[in-house]
């Protein structure tokens, strides 16, 4: 039987730093057991195998030259990248106007940096993103404020890649939330519609979806209607991203305990507000790693638009390498583009890890 | 005064089934305003289900429930009104883990009452002070002990200024050394005249605080009595067996 008195008792749990484990000697670190030895030897062997590649990429490389014909002697032709840098980054955007896509990329970078801090997440940040995307598109298109109009067929390079990735994920996420909520709805019609949409889109390869959007859609639309090719491509990417994100988010929703919804009900919080403020934030926090995964996949998926003739960064690099003046430096072009993709994806990956740790630090008991 | 001014909760001929399983069998229970009821009984006897029916976390199939004169039915307006009157504390606290302690108490006021943030936070700090953990306001629930979390959950419920509080086994998920701090908070609340229904096995609390003890078994109310009579001279065999089991 519990005896009750009114003296306050408060359990304080304070974290304290554990003692550091002693550092292992280096030899033991590399050859401590059989597994470590095998790994050390294998890695060493692989490193030795990479010496020719290193020679090619660094020691024998031609870093700068005005004469393309001297560029194919032994090593990599980085002089080509230097010469074609502007073309790979901006594509066929009119050279005199290339400050506009440059500004767009600056804006994307600035907004991305601002959005890093979860403290600033909220309706204002969403509004800022919508406004800055409007500014970006205005800059790219022109035709107002004395800017020369540039049709989307002349857009190209990195800005197209970034805009496609950003917009397909940004527009896909709200759709994905609706699809995920719909799929878990107790109402049969929204559930069936969401399920069908998700399964249909996931069942198609992205390449097929892009072909449908770029070739079939214009044929199906009534005469006189036309949607810009870049817009159609974006639509296909968005739908694709939404279907995958929806399944990720559904996983997060399933991880939120029924008790959370019961507490919200008992507190009289209206249903949709409870979903928005209580359930969704927790669901999204639980699925940061797979969300990141999908985001990275989508960044790289944008390169597939090349096959329907949209001029993204990869297309630009390919076209640059076909310049007859240079001795076909395809490898250098692809390595350069790969490096840019890697930097973007590695950035996203590191950021998501930081977010995850931040969420975990909220329960250190 | 009308009868409604006297009775906080009226449950009449309440029946509930889970599928074909009859969880609540013709329950009658009237709770007067300011009264403290402790509900006990073996697990699976339907005590949690009963109090969860009062604010419609569970739906009943037959019979009637009214709270401060508001009948619980299919009317959404009535349900909202009832949930305004009734606060609830759960066995597993059900705090919102993505919000700080202060936000846990403030956000529901903003979302369901349309209060301004400032006002809601002042209210939150007031009740966090009352449950004696204002210094934890900026921590996340996962950083608190179970007892502290349950006291936050009590503060969160009180922020909605309920007239009735339902406690669903509030100390069952706690480590033994944390039970007391939560019970102390509940005793203080009872002393202030809050109408309370508490599902618990803490018989010390029942004897000290309850006006009446309700004993349930297999979905039925077996015995209702004032605590001294209930513990010292239970009138049913099953009550005696139950008490013998939990008193060791």
Kindly report, residue by residue over A303-332, the tens digit of the pLDDT: 888 888 888 888 888 888 888 777 777 788
Q: Is A258 an 8 Å CB contact of chain B?
A: no
The number of domains in chain A is: 2
Confidence bin at A154 (pLDDT 50/70/90): confident
Confidence bin at B3 (pLDDT 50/70/90): very low
Using CB atoms, which residue from A8, A13, A269 is nearest to B112? A269
Say yes or no for a CB contact (<8 Å) between A364 and B142: yes
Say yes or no for a CB contact (<8 Å) between B205 and A13: no
Q: Are A43 and A171 members of one domain?
A: no
Say yes or no for a CB contact (<8 Å) between B96 and A263: yes
Residue B70 lies in a domain: yes
Q: CB–CB of B235/B223 below 8 Å?
A: yes
B17, two tokens: 């089934």
The number of domains in chain B is: 1
Report which of residues B113 and A151 the model is more confident about: B113
Q: Is B95 an 8 Å CB contact of chain A?
A: yes
How far, CA to CA in Å, does A205 sit from each of A182, A200, A242, A312, B163? Answer: 23, 10, 14, 20, 58
For residue A11, pLDDT over 70 is answered with no
Q: How many helices (H) and strands (E) does chain A have?
A: 17, 0
Report which of residues A21 and A259 the model is more confident about: A259
Q: Are A329 and A200 members of one domain?
A: yes
Report which of B69, B47, B33 is spatially closest to residue B163, judged by C-alpha positions: B33
For residue A14, pLDDT over 70 is answered with no
Q: Which residues pair with B225 in a beta bridge?
A: B213
Q: Is B70 an 8 Å CB contact of chain A?
A: no
Q: Mutation target for A interface from B98, B100, B113, B182: give the one with most A CBs within 10 A.
A: B98
pTM: 0.81
For residue B225, pLDDT over 70 is answered with yes
For residue B234, pLDDT over 50 is answered with yes
Residues 162-201 of B with CB under 8 A from A: 177-181, 183-184, 187-188
- Find the CATH number of the domain harbouring A241: 1.10.3720.10
Distance, CA of A153 to CA of A151 (rounded, Å): 5
Mean pLDDT, all residues of chain A? 85
Residue B149 lies in a domain: no
Q: Which of A145-149, A174-178, B92-96, B184-188 has the lowest mean pLDDT?
A: A145-149
Q: Are A51 and A156 members of one domain?
A: no
For residue A226, pLDDT over 60 is answered with yes
Q: What percent of chain A shows pLDDT beyond 90?
A: 31
Residue A121: how many CB atoms within 10 A of its CB?
A: 12
- Find the CATH number of the domain harbouring B83: 3.40.50.300
Residue A11 lies in a domain: no
For residue B10, pLDDT over 90 is answered with yes
Say yes or no for a CB contact (<8 Å) between A268 and B80: yes
Residue A60 lies in a domain: no
Give the distance from residue B42's alpha carbon to the nearest chain A alpha carbon, in angstroms.
17
Q: Is A157 helix (H, G, I), strand (E, B) or coil?
A: strand
Q: Are A340 and A296 members of one domain?
A: yes
Give the per-residue pLDDT at A365. 45
Using CB atoms, which residue from B132, B142, B204 is nearest to A2? B204
Give the per-residue pLDDT at B11. 94
Distance, CA of B27 to CA of B35 (rounded, Å): 18
Q: Is B96 an 8 Å CB contact of chain A?
A: yes
For residue A8, pLDDT over 60 is answered with no
Q: Which of A13-17, A204-208, A280-284, B178-182 has the lowest mean pLDDT?
A: A13-17
Over range A130-143, report the average pLDDT: 88
Over range A201-223, report the average pLDDT: 84
For residue A295, pLDDT over 60 is answered with yes
Give the structural domain span for A49. 26-55
For residue A86, pLDDT over 80 is answered with yes
Confidence bin at A13 (pLDDT 50/70/90): low
Using CB atoms, which residue from B113, B181, B208 is nearest to A9? B181
Q: Are A48 and A172 members of one domain?
A: no
Chain A hits for B147, CB-CB cut-off 8 Å, are 10-11
Kindly report, residue by residue over B69-103, the tens digit of the pLDDT: 999 988 889 999 999 999 999 999 999 999 999 99
Residue A211 lies in a domain: yes
Q: Is A77 helix (H, G, I), strand (E, B) or coil?
A: strand
Residue A88 lies in a domain: yes
For residue A348, pLDDT over 70 is answered with yes
Confidence bin at B4 (pLDDT 50/70/90): very low
Q: Are A203 and A339 members of one domain?
A: yes
Q: Is A8 an 8 Å CB contact of chain B?
A: yes
Over range A127-142, report the average pLDDT: 89
Give the per-residue pLDDT at B5. 57
Report which of residues A2 and A137 the model is more confident about: A137
Residue B133 lies in a domain: no
Say yes or no for a CB contact (<8 Å) between B205 and A2: yes
Residue A4 lies in a domain: no
Q: Can you give the three-state secondary structure of chain B, one letter per residue?
A: CCHHHHEEEEEEEEEEEECCEEEEEEEEEEEECCCEEEEECCCCCCHHHHHHHHCCCCCCCEEEEEECCEECCCCHHHHHHHHHHEEEECCCCCCCCCCCHHHHHHHHHHHHHCCCHHHHHHHHHHHHHHCCCHHHCCCCHHHCCHHHHHHHHHHHHHCCCCCEEEEECCCCCCCHHHHHHHHHHHHHHHHCCCEEEEECCCHHHHHHHCCEEEEEECCEEEEEECHHHHHHCCCCHHHHHHHHHHHC
Residue A7 lies in a domain: no
Give the distance from residue A116's alpha carbon to the nearest chain B alpha carbon, in angstroms.
18
Give the structural domain span for B193. 3-94+163-247
Which of left, alpha, beta for A151 (phi over 0: left; psi -120 to 50: alpha)? beta
Q: Is B132 an 8 Å CB contact of chain A?
A: yes
For residue A362, pLDDT over 90 is answered with no
Using CB atoms, which residue from A3, A7, A8 is nearest to B204? A3
Residue A262 lies in a domain: yes
Using CB atoms, which residue from A259, A269, A365 is nearest to B111? A269
Distance, CA of A285 to CA of B5 (rounded, Å): 46
Give the per-residue pLDDT at B68. 92
Chain B hits for A264, CB-CB cut-off 8 Å, are 108
For residue B238, pLDDT over 70 is answered with yes
Q: Is B204 an 8 Å CB contact of chain A?
A: yes
Say yes or no for a CB contact (<8 Å) between A2 and B147: no
Q: Is A2 an 8 Å CB contact of chain B?
A: yes
Using CB atoms, which residue from A9, A257, A259 is nearest to B180? A9
Residue B109 lies in a domain: no
Residue B232 lies in a domain: yes
Chain B hits for A259, CB-CB cut-off 8 Å, are 90, 92, 94
Residue B105 lies in a domain: no
Say yes or no for a CB contact (<8 Å) between A259 and B92: yes
Say yes or no for a CB contact (<8 Å) between A10 and B181: yes
What is the ipTM score, two decimals? 0.92
Give the per-residue pLDDT at A130. 92
Residue B53 lies in a domain: yes
Kindly report, residue by residue over B159-170, the tens digit of the pLDDT: 999 999 999 999
CA angle A128–A134–A135, rounded 5-degree value? 90
Distance, CA of A57 to CA of A51 (rounded, Å): 10
Using CB atoms, which residue from B56, B143, B181 is nearest to A365? B143
Give the per-residue pLDDT at B1. 42
Residue B15 lies in a domain: yes
């Amino acid at each position: 039987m519990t005896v009750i008195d009114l003296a306050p008792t408060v359990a304080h749990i304070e974290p304290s730093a554990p003692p550091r484990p002693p550092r292992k000697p280096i030899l033991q670190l590399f050859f401590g057991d059989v597994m470590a030895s095998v790994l050390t030897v294998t890695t060493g062997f692989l490193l030795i195998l990479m010496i020719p590649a290193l020679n090619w990429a660094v020691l024998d490389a031609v870093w700068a030259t005005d004469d393309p014909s001297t560029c194919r002697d032994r090593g990599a032709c980085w002089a080509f990248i230097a010469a074609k840098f502007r073309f790979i980054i901006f594509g066929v955007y009119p050279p005199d106007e290339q400050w506009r896509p440059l500004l767009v990329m600056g804006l994307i970078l600035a907004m991305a940096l601002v959005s890093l801090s979860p403290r600033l997440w909220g309706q204002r940040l969403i509004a800022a993103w919508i406004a800055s995307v409007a500014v970006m598109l205005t800059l790219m298109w022109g035709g107002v404020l004395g800017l020369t109009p540039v049709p989307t067929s002349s857009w190209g390079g990195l800005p197209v890649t970034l805009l496609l990735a950003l917009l397909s994920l940004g527009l896909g996420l709200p759709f994905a939330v609706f699809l995920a909520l719909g799929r878990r709805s107790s109402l049969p019609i929204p559930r069936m519609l969401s399920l069908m949409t998700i399964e249909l889109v996931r069942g198609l390869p992205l390449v097929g979806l892009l072909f449908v959007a770029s070739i079939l859609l214009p044929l199906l639309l009534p005469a006189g209607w036309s949607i810009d090719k870049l817009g159609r491509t974006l639509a296909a990417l968005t739908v694709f991203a939404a279907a995958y994100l929806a399944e990720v988010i559904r996983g997060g929703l399933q991880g939120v305990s029924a008790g959370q919804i019961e507490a919200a009900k008992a507190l009289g919080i209206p249903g949709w507000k409870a979903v928005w403020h209580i359930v969704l934030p927790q669901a999204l926090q639980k699925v940061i790693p797979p969300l990141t995964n999908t985001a990275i996949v989508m960044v790289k998926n944008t390169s597939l638009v090349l096959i329907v003739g949209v001029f993204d960064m990869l297309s630009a690099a390919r076209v640059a390498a076909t310049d007859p003046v240079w001795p076909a430096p395809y490898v250098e072009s692809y390595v350069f583009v790969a490096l840019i993709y890697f930097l973007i994806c590695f950035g996203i990956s590191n950021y998501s890890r930081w977010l995850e740790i931040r969420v975990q630090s909220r329960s250190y008991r | 005064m009308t009868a409604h001014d006297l009775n906080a909760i009226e449950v009449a001929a309440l029946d509930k089934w889970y599928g074909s399983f009859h969880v609540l069998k013709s329950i009658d229970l009237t709770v007067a305003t300011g009264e403290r009821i402790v509900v006990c009984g073996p697990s699976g006897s339907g005590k949690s289900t009963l109090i969860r029916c009062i604010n419609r976390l569970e739906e009943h199939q037959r019979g009637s429930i009214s709270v401060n004169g508001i009948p619980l039915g299919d009317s959404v307006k009535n349900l909202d009104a009832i949930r305004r009157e009734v606060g609830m504390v759960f066995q597993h606290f059900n705090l919102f883990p993505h919000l700080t302690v202060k936000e846990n108490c403030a956000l529901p006021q903003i979302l369901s009452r349309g209060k301004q943030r400032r006002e809601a936070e002042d209210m939150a700090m007031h009740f966090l002070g009352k449950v004696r953990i204002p210094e934890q306001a900026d921590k996340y629930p996962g950083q608190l002990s179970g007892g502290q979390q349950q006291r936050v959950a009590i503060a969160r419920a009180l922020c909605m200024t309920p007239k009735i509080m339902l406690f669903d086994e509030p100390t069952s998920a706690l480590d033994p050394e944390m039970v007391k701090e939560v019970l102390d908070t509940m005793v203080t609340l009872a002393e202030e005249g809050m109408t309370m229904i508490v599902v618990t096995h803490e018989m010390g609390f029942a004897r000290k605080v309850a006006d009446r003890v309700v004993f349930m078994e297999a979905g039925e109310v077996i015995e209702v009595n004032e605590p001294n009579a209930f513990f010292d001279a239970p009138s049913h065999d099953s009550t005696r067996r139950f008490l013998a089991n939990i008193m060791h």
